[in-house]
Amino acid sequence: QVQLVESGGDLVQPGGSLRLSCAASASDFVLYSMDWYRQAPGKQRELVATINIVSNTYYADSVKGRFTISRDNARKMVYLEMNSLKPEDTAVYYCHTQRSTRGYWGQGTQVTVSS
């Protein structure tokens, strides 16, 4: 069983920064990739960033150069550092990991970028 709990969402002005955290309760945490997704109102959930077991990373084009994903295997934590935030980054951000055919999601954390 895998449980994921996100935190760190907030209201921030354009150009600002936030750091999202995801705490995982999986005993096999170090063996799997971790992802951040986001879903804006009226839009489909989209992949934002992925980090694999050797900390190779992938970013969506829309966040490349502004967001950084990282992981702390000892603490079973995943982070998303978000800089130069734009109004279009407003969304609920979800932590995700996949086990075989089953995906596990957190409850999400709201990020609102607005002046």
Model pLDDT for residues 14-32, shown as the tens digit of each residue: 999 999 999 999 889 999 9
Q: Taking residues 87-110, report their average pLDDT.
A: 96
**CA-based torsion, 97, 110, 38, 115: positive or negative:** negative
Q: What is the pLDDT of residues 55-98, one digit of tens each?
A: 999 999 999 999 999 999 999 999 999 999 999 999 999 999 99
- At residue 26, the pLDDT reads 87
What pLDDT shows up at residue 19? 98
Instruction: For 25-34, give one letter per residue: b (16+ CB within 10 A) or e.
Output: ebeebeebbb
Cβ–Cβ under 8 Å, residues 9 and 110:
yes
What pLDDT, in 10s, does the model give residues 31-56?
999 999 999 999 999 999 999 999 99
